[in-house]
Amino acid sequence: MIFEVFRQERRGQAFAHAGSIVAPDIEFAEAWAREQYGRRQESEALWIVPRDAVTEVHDFPDELNKTYHRVDGYSLKAKLKEARERAGTAAS
């Protein structure tokens, strides 16, 4: 079985993928992951997950061009300029 190993380097940080190991079961997987990723106390914690349990998702199409929930959907520069000019507060 292939197990994916995620490690957290310091408390509070996100777990990041570290690599994978082949092991017959979770007990062996834990023992080997400890050797590979923890023997120098370089990890705060590990997640060991059977590869089969991971659902991978790709491709995030945006057919409707839904820019309203992204920062690039709001180009305020030109509008702000116009508003300042109208209010008479534009830098000269």
Binding region for another protein (CB under 8 A): 1, 17-22, 24-25, 28, 35-37, 39, 56
Q: 15 burial class (0-12, 13-18, 19+ CB within 10 angstroms)?
A: middle
Between residues 17 and 84, which has the closer beta carbon with respect to another protein?
17
Q: 33 burial class (0-12, 13-18, 19+ CB within 10 angstroms)?
A: buried
Where helices occur in 1-92 by DSSP H, the ranges are 26-38, 77-87
Residue 8 CB, nearest approach to another protein (Å): 15
Between residues 19 and 73, which has the closer beta carbon with respect to another protein?
19
Residue 32 CB, nearest approach to another protein (Å): 8
Residue 63 CB, nearest approach to another protein (Å): 23
Q: Measuring CA to CA, how many Å separate 13 from each of 8, 47, 49?
A: 6, 13, 19
Residue 29 CB, nearest approach to another protein (Å): 11
Between residues 18 and 46, which has the closer beta carbon with respect to another protein?
18
